Amino acid sequence: MTGAHKAVAAARPLRVALVLGSLTGWRRLLAAAFFGALAAAALPPLYLFPLLLPAFVGVFWMLEGASAGHSGGRQAALTGWAFGTGHFAAGLYWVGIAFLVDAERFGWAMPFAVAGLAAGLALFPALTFWFTWLARQRLRLAGPALVLAFAAAWLIGEGLRAWILTGFPWNLLGTVWAFAPAPLQLAAYGGVWLLSLITVIAATAPAVLADPARRSPRGLAVVALLVLLPALAWGFGAWRLAAAPARGSDVVAEVRLRLVQPSIPQALKWRADRKAANLRLQAELSLAPGYEDRTLIIWPETAVPYLLAAEPRLREELADIVPPGAFLVSGAPRVDPADPQGKIWNALHALDGQGAIVATYDKTHLVPFGEYTPLRSLLGLAKLTAGSRDFSAGEGLKTLTLPGLPAFSPLICYEIIFPGAVKAAAGTAAPPRWLLNLTNDAWFGDSSGPYQHFAAARLRAVEEGLPVIRAANNGISAVIDSYGRVIDRINLNDRGIIDAYLPEAATERTPYSYAGNILYLIELLFTTCVIFVARRFI
């Protein structure tokens, strides 16, 4: 290549950066939304993580092009909002499928629900972009220091999204690495937050090379180091796994599980003429050959479509499928027998061989509009789930103990998606040795949703150093060990059972299981310190 050709090639990134940065009006919003949707392709189930590079580099150039002054801050925020809208619309489109289960009543709301959810969640990226713009103007940040500021602001946005209005930490960016256990291992030390942080840094860092002044040997080395952060994390994860027990070898030999996935379509699940047949199907799967040796049979969320606690005859019938000394754990709605028209809970029950309920957990973290309607009197909307009454929240996370079983933390449906919030508070009970997640992803059909839900479960296993046992009506039922490795699974839309031993918890508790989301704050503080170092020396 001649010197002239090299000069042209070197100038090309600068030209693209200038063009993107100079976009205004609807062209800017459309380009930002495109980059946001492109970034969503890195999420489960596609895992096209290389697309994060053009997505974040492109939108970062747009952010750098926002002018100084009040109008520049507004432009930066709108760019972030458009990026977020495209990202969440592409990543969460499947939420709309739930409105088609009862299309006659709710189908009209599908486009409004998806668009409204995407636009609302996009306020967090809008805040991220505005923070970054403000740091650039006030602190005179540029190059790698501005990239780090952008990553820190992104992490602040994800943290706020996980907390405000009960929180919705679905598809945190670190989830893009959930296709394999090795890149997830860093979550044991910093949670999914640390994975999100290094992902944004690596995806955005090449943007600084648009500035020819940054293409010195030192500048190239710094960018290469930042881009390679996920590869370094992957190498660390491979090293950690090499020191771990072989997959499936470290188990609680006396605990033999049977997970049941009946794959009942959501449209048929609560039909009065199908309830008994659905129950028989799950009983038949439970009684498949080898059931006599099982010590715990697990059914999914609301697998029993009746008020089990108020149905002694039904409990006696279900006791027939419980092997001697074993238990059946199942989801079911629950009411207070003394006030059957009062509160109703989405519950988990443990049933013994005599038909007695020996443990109960009421779901604490409810799904807005799915299990209850916020501002129902004002909005005039009904919830999507069966029945006219809103579900009530339980008293909080708890640890359950059953004879012959290690203590466990029950989690119903999307309670598994909350980092650092999958166990009862320290000191309230003995620490659990495993996590039990009952769910029903049949609401979302053959879409990305069940895969994203499953990815969150794998991350919680690594963070807490605890195995996750996951039973879905439809979705992905699985046995996941404390390193996020899948021991066995039933795929989406498949019907069947899993017979497996309960994996042991990790030999040593993970730093994240001790410190929880305090590590999130430490990561932000450390990044801020590095920003000021980078501002001065890079």
- pTM > 0.75: yes or no: yes
Question: Parallel, antiparallel, or unpaired for β 296-298 and 339-351?
Answer: unpaired
| Helix, strand or coil, per DSSP, at residue 141 | coil
The mean-pLDDT minimum among 4-13, 14-23, 343-352 falls in 4-13
Q: In which band, very low, low, confident or very high, does the pLDDT at 1 lie, cut at 50, 70 and 90?
A: low
- How far apart are the C-alpha atoms of 365 and 95, rounded to whole Å? 18
Q: Which of 413, 415, 423, 463 is catalytic?
A: 413
Task: Check: CB of residue 537 under 8 Å from CB of residue 218.
Answer: no
pLDDT(149) > 70: yes
- How far apart are the C-alpha atoms of 167 and 295, rounded to whole Å? 36
Q: Which of 64, 269, 363, 371 is catalytic?
A: 363
- Looking at residues 314-329, what average pLDDT do you find? 96
pLDDT(244) > 50: yes
Instruction: Tell me the β-bridge partners of 503.
Output: 251
pLDDT at 84: 98
- How far apart are the C-alpha atoms of 2 and 123, rounded to whole Å? 47
Minimal CA–CA distance to 261: which of 440, 449, 488?
Answer: 440
pLDDT(382) > 70: no
Indicate if 413 belongs to the active site: yes
The mean-pLDDT minimum among 69-78, 299-308, 348-357 falls in 69-78
Indicate if 301 belongs to the active site: yes
Task: Check: CB of residue 217 under 8 Å from CB of residue 224.
Answer: no
Q: Which of 301, 415, 463, 464 is catalytic?
A: 301
CATH level 3 topology of 251-503: Nitrilase/N-carbamoyl-D-aminoacid amidohydrolase (3.60.110)
3-state helix, strand, coil in the chain (%, to 5): 55, 15, 35
Delimit the CATH 3.60.110.10 region(s) of the chain.
251-503
pLDDT(7) > 50: no
Indicate if 463 belongs to the active site: no
- Looking at residues 250-264, what average pLDDT do you find? 97
- Looking at residues 127-131, what average pLDDT do you find? 98
